[in-house]
Structure 1
C-alpha cells in the first residue's frame, strides 16, 4: 500500500525544483503520513497528526482540515489541533463562496487558493474579523478530493506573517491534501465495512455466503437460530444442507438457472431444521460477480415465515369468512358467485341464487338475548349446510341473512327439492341453552342466465323475491319475475320524484273528522297526507310512505306534516273550539332516525301540548329503542297525547300501554267492517273498549260506515268514531264547512 501511494504522489509532483534538504523533508513527511494511515484507526487523529507534522515543517503557521457538509452546503472544521476553539466556532458553518476566505474559495472554485494578505484581499471580505481577531495574516488552501475526484473539503496553512508559499510549501500542501483524502476515503470504507459486518451479524434473516460451487464459506448468527445448525456443522458443506427434500432436483435446477441468467431469485420454499422439521421460508439468492464478470460468490438469505403464513391465513379468513358461523361472508360469496357464473356459462347449465331471511329472528333476540340469537344463527348455518351439496355455497351476508349458490342446476325444478328441504329444516324448533325458539324462513330465488347475467343483478333479483315471500306471509319461497323488476324500477322513480315533491309544494293535507259518538260533535280530526303529482294526479300515502321510509325522506315529510297541522289546529282552535285536536301519524322510522323538536315548536306557537295527538303503531312499542323511549316520554311530559293506531293487528303488551301513558286506542277498521250483534268482532271490540276504559284510555273506532255499526259501538261505550258514515277526508275549506254544518245541527 505504501509503495502504491508513494508512486501516485511522485507521479503527480515534480521534485526537481526543490533542494536536497527539501526533498528529504518531503520524503520523510510522506513516509510518516503513510504510516499513520496504515497503522492508525482514528482518522480524525490521523488528520490532526498530519496538521502537526506540516506545522513542524513551516514555522509560525497553523494547519487545518475543513470538510464540506453536502446536505447543508456548508463547511465545518474537522481537524485543527493548534487553532483556538473560539476561532473554530466562528469557522464552523461557513458557506463556500468568493468572499469566504481561502478555504471557502478553494472549495467554491475547486482549485488551490494562496492569499498573501488576508487584511486587504477581497476574497476574505466576509470573514475579515476572524483574520483580525486571530492574527491570520496569510492563508493557503487546497481542495481535498475523494477517490472519485469529488471535492470533500480543504487542507489549509494559516500564517501569522504576510507571505506566499514556495514550491516546497505547495508540495507539502499537495501531499497533505492527497493523504488526507486517502485517509478520509479509508475511514468511509472502514465505516461501511463495519456497518456491513454488523448488519451481517445482527440480521434477523439467516445469511449464507457460498462459493461458486455452492459450498458454504460463511454464515451469520441468525442461521443457527433459524436452522439449529452451528457454523462448524455447515461451513464447507453444500447449501442444500438447509433445504427440504420435499422439493425435487429439477425445482432447484430452475432456481439456480434463474440466478445464473438474471443474477437473482426470490420466492417461497420449504427448508429443513437440523432436527428434521420442515418450515416455510422466504428465500433470496443473489450472485456476486468478480472483476471479469464471472460469478465468484453467492449471497443467500432467508427467513422462517411460519408465523407470517399463520397470520396471513387468519387475516384471509377474517376477510372472507363469518366469525360467528364459519360460513363464507359477503366478500367470499361474491367471489364464488362470479366464479360459478363463469363456469355455468361455459358448461351451459343453470345456476340458482337463494336469498334467505329468517322470520321473527328479532323476537328471539329481544326475548332470549343476543347469546341465544347467535346460537340460533350457528345452528341455522349447520342446517343450511346440511341441505345442499358439496358443490354449492352457503354464505352469511350479515344479521339473519343467508345466501346459497346452487350450481349445475338442469332446470328450475331441480332447485325446488333443496328449497323445500331448507324450509322444513328451519321450521323445526331450535333447542338453545335450555331455551326453545322458533323461526321460519322467507326465501327469494333467481336463476342464471334466465333472470340476469351478472352477480350484482342476480343478488338484487333474489333480494326482491325474498321481500315478496315476506309479503306473502313468510315461511315460503318466491321466484323472481320481471314484474318484480318493474316494481323496483317504479319504486326508484317514485323515490326520485318524491325528493322534489316536498320542495315543489306538491304535498298537501286532508282532514277526516273524528266524532264524539255520544254527542255527534266534531272534537278532533286526523291529518292525512296526499301527493298532487303533476302527471299522475293525486297519489295516496300507501304508494309512497314506505318508499319515504326506505330513503330517509320520512323525517323531512313528517316534520312538514307536523308544522302544517300545528298551523291548522291553531286556526281552528281560535275560530271553532279551543280544545280542538288534530291527530298526525308518526312513522317508526321518524323515531329512530332522529329526535324531533315538535314539542319546542308547539311552545314557540304558544299552543298547549294537547293540541296534537301523535298516532303510532303497536309494533313500535315492542322496539324499546332509546330514542323511542325518550321521545314518547317527552310527549307525555309536554302533554302531547299518544294514540295506538290500528289496535289489534300487532303485538301490543299491556305493560307498554301503561308505561308510556297511552291516551287513545284506535280499533282497526278490519274489526269494524263485519261488526254485528252476533259476530266475534263484536266481542273483541267490546273487550278492547272495556280494557281501555279500565286503563284510563279513550277508544276511537276507525272505518265506521253504517248506522248499525255506530249504534253497536255506542252501546259498547266506544268514545269516538271515524269513517265514511260521518265524512270522508276533506280539504281545509270543506272541513271548515263541515264544522259549520255540524255546529248548526247540534
Structure 2
C-alpha cells in the first residue's frame, strides 16, 4: 500500500528560517530544489508514479540533512534546505552538487525507471540584511536563472532598499487587512443563453496611499508570505457573500470568488465558506469558488477530499485559466467541478488566430461532454461575443461587457444593463 505524500508546510519553513537568521552571526543560506518534471510524470505515467518519485526524492534529500528542522517540502514539487553558519558562500556549490548527485539516479516505479529533472536555486545573506521572505524570493529568482542555464551568483546582492520596501508594504498590508481597507470590485458575467447579467466575479482591490493600486497578484503573494492567506480569503468570501445578500431581491446575482492555490487542501476551507453563507443568510447556489487548473493538478490527492466536501455542501467549483496548464481529460473523472473558464489568451485573438479558435471550440465541446458550463474571459468585442454564443459557450466576461466596477459604479451599471 502506498504511503501518503508528506504534507506541504511552507509556513513551518518560513518560521524555521526566521529562527536561524535571528540566531546566527554568520550568513544563513537557502537551497530550493525543484522536481521540474513532476507534473509531466503525473500526467504521462500516473499520479502513483509521481508519488513514488516524491517519496524517493524525499528520502534521498533527507539523508543529506544533517541538522533538525532544516529540510521542508514547501510545494507540490518544491523542497527547501536551510544552510546555517555560512562562512564562505561559494561552498554552497558543493551542497548543490551533492543534491544533484543524490537525485540524479532514476527512481524505480514498478518495472519502469523514471528520471527526475532537478533544478536548484540558492540565496544567502547576513542577519542585518536578510529576512525569510527576502531569502526565499532571491532563491526563487536563482531557480529561474538556473532553469535558463545562467551560472550561480556567490557575491553579496545589495537589495537593502528592496528589503525595506517589502517590510513597509508588509506593515501596510497588515494594517489594511485588519482595518478593512481592501475593496471588492465586481465584473459582470453575461449569460449567453438569455442575454442577461446574472453573475459577477468578485475581484480584490487595494489602493495604498501614495502608491496607487497594488497589483492583485502582489497582494496574494504578500498574504501567503505573511501567513495571512486564510484571513484574507475569509474577508473576501464574507464580503462577497454579504454584498450578494444585500442585492438579493433587487438583483439575484451569483458570485464567483477566487481561492488561493495554497488553500485548496486546507481542511478549514469548507467551514470558512459555510460560515459566511450562514452568517449572511445566503443560499449556497449563489456562490462559486474559482480554483486555478495548476492548483488542482499539482495538489490532486491532498485537495480532492476538500473539493468533494465543498461540492457536498452545495458549493459550485470552477476551474480557472483552463487550457494554460497541463490540461488532461484524466482528472475530469475525479474533480467535482461544475464550470470551466477559458483563459483570455485564447479568447482575445480567436477570430484572427485559427489555433486559438480551435482550442476554444474544443474546450467548449469537452465541457459539454462532461456536463460543465463554460465561461469565456477577455471578451473585448461584439464579434467575439457572438461567435462564443454560436459555439455554445454559456457565459462571457470582459471589457466589451464591462470592466471590474466598484460597488457604487456596479449598481449604476446594472440598473441600465441587467438584460
> Normalized against structure 2, the TM-score is what?
0.75
Contact 1:355 1:462 in 2 (8 A): no
- CA 1:663–1:458 in 2, change beyond 3 Å: closer, same or farther? closer
Contact 2:53 2:107 in 1 (8 A): no
1:700 aligns with 2:375: yes
Question: In terms of mean alpha carbon deviation, does 455-464 or 611-620 score higher?
Answer: 455-464
- Report the counterpart of residue 401 of structure 1 in structure 2: 80
**Residue 368 of structure 1, aligned match among 25, 37, 49:** 49
Q: Which has the larger radius of gyration?
A: 1
Deviation digits for residues 85-125 of structure 1 (CA, Å, limit 9, x no counterpart)? xxxxxxxxxxxxxxxxxxxxxxxxxxxxxxxxxxxxxxxxx
- Report the counterpart of residue 199 of structure 1 in structure 2: none
- Report the counterpart of residue 661 of structure 1 in structure 2: 336
- CA 1:710–1:483 in 2, change beyond 3 Å: closer, same or farther? farther
Q: How far 1:531 sits from its partner (Å)?
A: 1.4
**Residue 263 of structure 2, aligned match among 590, 593, 599:** 590
CA distance in structure 2 between the partners assigned to 1:534 and 1:618 by the alignment: 34
**Residue 137 of structure 2, aligned match among 464, 471, 481:** 464
- CA 1:499–1:593 in 2, change beyond 3 Å: closer, same or farther? farther
Alignment partner of 1:575: what SS?
coil
Q: How far 1:739 sits from its partner (Å)?
A: 1.2
**Residue 444 of structure 1, aligned match among 107, 111, 122:** 122
- Report the counterpart of residue 296 of structure 1 in structure 2: none
Deviation digits for residues 198-253 of structure 1 (CA, Å, limit 9, x no counterpart)? xxxxxxxxxxxxxxxxxxxxxxxxxxxxxxxxxxxxxxxxxxxxxxxxxxxxxxxx
Contact 1:466 1:478 in 2 (8 A): no
**Residue 182 of structure 2, aligned match among 483, 487, 507:** 507
CA distance in structure 2 between the partners assigned to 1:690 and 1:455 by the alignment: 57
CA distance in structure 1 between the partners assigned to 2:38 and 2:128 by the alignment: 29
Q: How far 1:742 sits from its partner (Å)?
A: 1.6
Deviation digits for residues 405-463 of structure 1 (CA, Å, limit 9, x no counterpart)? 99879xx8x999x89978986896624365313222132255xxxxx556994998764
- Report the counterpart of residue 560 of structure 1 in structure 2: 235
Contact 1:394 1:403 in 2 (8 A): no
- Report the counterpart of residue 84 of structure 1 in structure 2: none
Q: Higher relative CO (CA 8 A, sep ≥ 6), structure 1 or 2?
A: 2
- Report the counterpart of residue 15 of structure 1 in structure 2: none
Tell me how large the CA RMSD over aligned residues is.
4.1
Contact 2:267 2:306 in 1 (8 A): no
- Report the counterpart of residue 401 of structure 2 in structure 1: 726
Alignment partner of 1:465: what SS?
helix
Contact 2:60 2:102 in 1 (8 A): no
Contact 1:665 1:692 in 2 (8 A): yes
**Residue 532 of structure 1, aligned match among 193, 207, 220:** 207
- CA 1:407–1:685 in 2, change beyond 3 Å: closer, same or farther? same
CA distance in structure 2 between the partners assigned to 1:563 and 1:478 by the alignment: 45
Contact 1:529 1:561 in 2 (8 A): yes
Alignment partner of 2:337: what SS?
coil
Alignment partner of 1:597: what SS?
helix
Contact 1:510 1:528 in 2 (8 A): yes
CA distance in structure 2 between the partners assigned to 1:455 and 1:538 by the alignment: 31
**Residue 106 of structure 2, aligned match among 421, 430, 433:** 430
- Report the counterpart of residue 168 of structure 2 in structure 1: 493
Corresponding pairs, count: 380
- CA 1:545–1:375 in 2, change beyond 3 Å: closer, same or farther? closer
> Normalized against structure 1, the TM-score is what?
0.44
Deviation digits for residues 356-414 of structure 1 (CA, Å, limit 9, x no counterpart)? 413348657964376654543566799x9xxxxxxxx99994144357899879xx8x9
- Report the counterpart of residue 133 of structure 1 in structure 2: none
- CA 1:459–1:504 in 2, change beyond 3 Å: closer, same or farther? closer
- CA 1:381–1:439 in 2, change beyond 3 Å: closer, same or farther? farther
Deviation digits for residues 9-39 of structure 1 (CA, Å, limit 9, x no counterpart)? xxxxxxxxxxxxxxxxxxxxxxxxxxxxxxx
Gaps (5+ residues) in structure 2? 1-15, 73-78
Contact 1:395 1:403 in 2 (8 A): no
- CA 1:524–1:370 in 2, change beyond 3 Å: closer, same or farther? closer
Q: How far 1:669 sits from its partner (Å)?
A: 1.3
Gaps (5+ residues) in structure 1? 1-329, 342-350, 385-392, 447-451
- Report the counterpart of residue 359 of structure 2 in structure 1: 684
